[in-house]
Amino acid sequence: MPSDCIPFRVTNYFSSFICDYLDENPELKEFYHRFPNLDNFEDQILEKQQSFSAENRKVLKAALFAQYTKVNISETTQNNIDLLDKDTTFTVTTGHQLNLFTGPLYFLYKIVSAINLASVLKEEYPTYNFVPVYWMATEDHDFEEINYFNFKGKKIQWNRKDGGAVGVFDTEGLDKVFEVFSSEIGSGRNAERLKSLFQEAYLKHENLADATRYLANELFAEYGLVIVDGDDKDLKRLFIPYVERELEEQISYNNVLPKAEKLASKGYKIQVNPREINLFYLSEGLRERIIEKENRYFVNDTDIVWTKSELLQELSESPERFSPNVMMRPLYQEVILPNLCYIGGGGELAYWLELKDYFDTVKIPFPMLLLRNSVLMQTTKQGQKIKKLEVSDEELFLKQHELINRKVRQISNIDINFDPQRLQLKEQFKEMHELANQTDVTFLNAVKAQEVKQLKGLDMLEKRLLKAQRLKLSDHVQRLTSIQNELFPNQSLQERNVNFSEMYLEYGENLIPELIKHLNPLLGEFVVLKQ
C-alpha cells in the first residue's frame, strides 16, 4: 500500500493553532512541557518514573483486570497489564467517545497511533516497557454526538431516551439498529464479519461501555491495547485529593483561565473555557454540574445540596459519583496512569495546551502532546480515476470550486488568464496618472475610478470565460466533482465522516494491519494511503 504525505498546513483542514504547535512556534513554548520528539521521551520517562507511586500502579493493575472480566483478554494485553506494576512500564494514551460502532474513521487512527508509538519507544528505549491505552469516555453525556454512524452516505442512528453518563446506558433498541445496518451492508465474507462484530458487541452486552470495550478489544487485542474505563470507584479514590482541592480552591479555574486568556491575546481561538468548579455529580440517569453558592454546594437542576463538610464526606464515601469535566479529565488520566504522552486530534490538543500551569500547580508531570495520524484512504478504483484526471494529492484538498477552476484552466485550449491584459491596462493608466498629477485632484480621482472600473471589467470577463469553459468541459468537471465528493464527503475530511465498516468491506482483515504498517506516529504530516 503506497503512501504520500502532505504537510498539515497545506491541507487547509487544520487550525493555525495546531500548525504552529507542530512547527514548534516559540510563541507556544510556554503552553507545553516537552515536544514529542523521540529524544525528548527519555526525560519524560525519568520524570514520570519519579512521580508515579507503586501504590497507584497496584490499584491500576487490579482495576484493569476487574474491568476485563467480561471479555476474552489476549495474551499480549494481559502481559501489558501485568507489566503496569513495574516502575519501568509506561503508557501512551489516546481517548475517544463511545461512538456507535466506533463512529468516524479517526477512531482507528487514534488507536493505531498509540500502538505504533509504543512500538517505536520500545525500539528506542528497550529497557523500558510501553503500553498503548485507549481511554473510554464512559462518563460523557453528549449522547447526540455518539448515537449514530455514517455508512455510504446514510446516517444509521440509535434512538433512545437520553440522560446521564453514556457508559451505563443499556443496549436496548440496538437490535433495530442492527436490522437497518444489516440490510444496508449486503453479503460477503467481510460483510458477515462486520455483522458479527455488531451483534456480539451491542446485542450481547448489557451496556454501552461493555459493548465498546468488546469491540475495541476485538479489533486491537493482538497489538496489546489496554482499554481503560475511568468510571471506576477504586481509580477515582486515587483522585480524591485533587477533587478536594477543586472543591475548596477552584484550582483548575484559577490556573487555566489566565492561560486561556494568554492564548487568546496571541490570536488563537480558545477551545474550552473553565468553570469555577469543573466537576459533575453522577447518579442513575444524572450527570450534572456541581455549583458553589454562598458556601453551599448544589447539583445543577436538582434539589441536591450540601454544606462543604457534607460534600467532602460524600466524596470520601462515594468517589465514583464525582466526574471530572473536560478541564479535569486530563489530570485524572495522568494521576491514575503512568503516562508519557497523550495522542489526540487538533481540538483535543488545543484544550490540553491550556492546562500546563494547572498541572504544574498540582505537581503532576504534564504529558507530551502528539497529534494523531490523519489519513485519506484511496481504493484502487479511485486511484485510477485520479490518475486519469491528472489530479495531485495536494489538489484533492482544495475547496471544490478552486479545484474545478484550476483544472479547467489547465486543460482548456483557451488561455483563461487575463493577467497580461491587466498588466497592460495598468501600464496605460500609469501614463494617465502622470498626466493627471499635472492637473487637479478631481481629474486624478476620475482616472483612478476608471482604472478600477476597467480592471473589474476584466475580472468579470475572465469569470465569464471560465464559466463558459466549465460548461464546455462539463464531463471533466463532473468526474472531478464526483471523485472529490467520494473522498471528501460533505466537503470534509473522510476520516471525520466515514465509518470503518466501509473500509473493512474493501480491505477486510487486512485493514488494521495495513494501518499499523504504514502509519508513523511521529511523522507530523497528513498521510494518503493508496490501495
Q: Do residue 398 and residue 345 come from a single domain? A: no
The boundaries of the domain holding residue 163 are: 3-238+326-374+512-530
Establish if 497 belongs to a structural domain.
no
Residues 361 and 412 both lie in one domain:
no
Over residues 131-152, the mean pLDDT reads 96
More confident of the two residues 7 and 403: 7
Average pLDDT over the chain, rounded to whole? Answer: 91
Residue 219 CA to chain centroid, in angstroms?
A: 19
Chain centroid to CA 150: how far? 17
Q: What is the pLDDT of residue 405?
A: 75
Q: Answer whether residue 2 shows pLDDT above 70.
A: no
Q: Of the given ranges (44-58, 167-181, 237-251, 426-440), which has the lowest mean pLDDT?
A: 426-440
**Domain presence at residue 303:** no
Listed range (14-23, 311-320, 418-427) with the worst mean pLDDT: 418-427
Torsion of CA 271, 276, 282, 287, to 10 degrees: -50
pLDDT of residue 418: 54
Q: Are residues 186 and 116 in the same domain?
A: yes
pLDDT at 389 over 90: no
Q: What is the pLDDT of residue 478?
A: 83
Mean pLDDT along residues 78-90: 98
Segment 493-518 shows an average pLDDT of 97
**Does residue 275 lie within any of the structural domains?**
no
Residue 381 domain-assigned (yes or no)? no
Instruction: Count CA atoms within 13 Å of residue 422 on its CB side.
Output: 14
Residues 8 and 96 reside in one and the same domain:
yes
Based on the domain organization, do 28 and 157 belong to the same domain? yes
pLDDT of 198 reads 98
Residues 70 and 159 grouped into a single domain = yes
**Whether 346 and 425 share a structural domain:** no
Least confident of 28-32, 208-212, 219-223, 281-285: 281-285
Residues 107 and 181 in one domain: yes
Q: Is residue 266 part of a domain?
A: no
Cα angle 291, 293, 298; round to 5: 40
Instruction: Confirm if 156 and 150 have CB atoms less than 8 A apart.
Output: yes
Residue 199: is its pLDDT beyond 90?
Answer: yes
Q: Based on the structure, what is the number of domains in the chain? A: 2
Check whether 413 has a pLDDT greater than 50.
no
Please report the pLDDT score of residue 282 as a whole number: 96
- Among 330-339, 341-350, 426-435, which is the least confidently predicted range? 426-435
Helices (H), 373-440: 380-389, 393-396, 400-411, 419-436
Helix (H) or strand (E) holding 36: none
How confident is the model at residue 481, as a pLDDT?
A: 85
Q: What is the mean pLDDT of residues 464-492?
A: 76
pLDDT for 508: 96
Same domain, 38 and 172: yes
pTM, entire model: 0.89
Looking at the structure, do residues 470 and 347 belong to the same domain, yes or no? no
Classify residue 285: in a domain, yes or no: no
Residues 89 and 135 in one domain: yes
Average pLDDT over residues 221-232: 97
Residue 433 lies in a domain: yes
Is 80 exceeded by the pLDDT of residue 215? yes
On whether both 227 and 331 belong to a single domain, the answer is: yes
Higher pLDDT, 241 or 440: 241
Whether pLDDT at 326 is above 60 = yes
pLDDT tens digits for range 336-353: 999 999 999 999 999 999
Residue 181, domain member (yes or no): yes
Residues 256-277 have pLDDT tens digits of 999 999 999 999 999 999 999 9
Strand 3-7 relative to strand 525-530: parallel, antiparallel, unpaired? antiparallel
Whether pLDDT at 242 is above 70: yes
